[in-house]
Amino acid sequence: DIQMTQSPSTLSASVGDRVTITCRASQSISSWLAWYQQKPGKAPKLLIYKASSLESGVPSRFSGSGSGTEFTLTISSLQPDDYAIYYCQQYKSYSFGQGTKVEIK
């Protein structure tokens, strides 16, 4: 069973800030990692797949990096629409991280 651990659980940031979220896997998952954004009452939305590939239509301020067991999601300049919960997910066996809430500072 592959465990995914995100940090931090909550992040307070201002518009324009650079934001970084970390996701660690309990064993190597190569680059089989995705990032999702979820807003209240909505389904998650795919942002990044294969650790660093940007999903079509997703703003370029979002980027992903990493391989093996450590991964990051970076928002280069936080926008008002970006306040949400972010989840990482490994798709070797489909487990998700516990989520990181990005809130207004």
Closest distance of CB 55 from other proteins, Å: 7
CB contact at 8 A, 20 and 35: no
Residues in region 8-37 near other proteins by CB under 8 A: 32, 34, 36
Closest distance of CB 53 from other proteins, Å: 9
Number of residues that bind other proteins (CB under 8 A): 21
Q: Does 66 bind other proteins (CB under 8 A)?
A: no
Residues in region 81-100 near other proteins by CB under 8 A: 87, 89, 91-92, 94-99
Ordered DSSP codes for 28-84: --TT-EEEEEE-TTS--EEEEETTTEEPTT--TTEEEEEETTEEEEEESS--GGG-S
Within 8 A by CB and 6+ apart from 86, the residues are 6, 21, 35, 36, 37, 38, 47, 73, 99, 100, 102
Q: Does 5 bind other proteins (CB under 8 A)?
A: no
Q: Does 46 bind other proteins (CB under 8 A)?
A: yes
Footprint of other proteins on this chain (CB under 8 A)?
Answer: 1, 32, 34, 36, 42-46, 49, 55, 87, 89, 91-92, 94-99
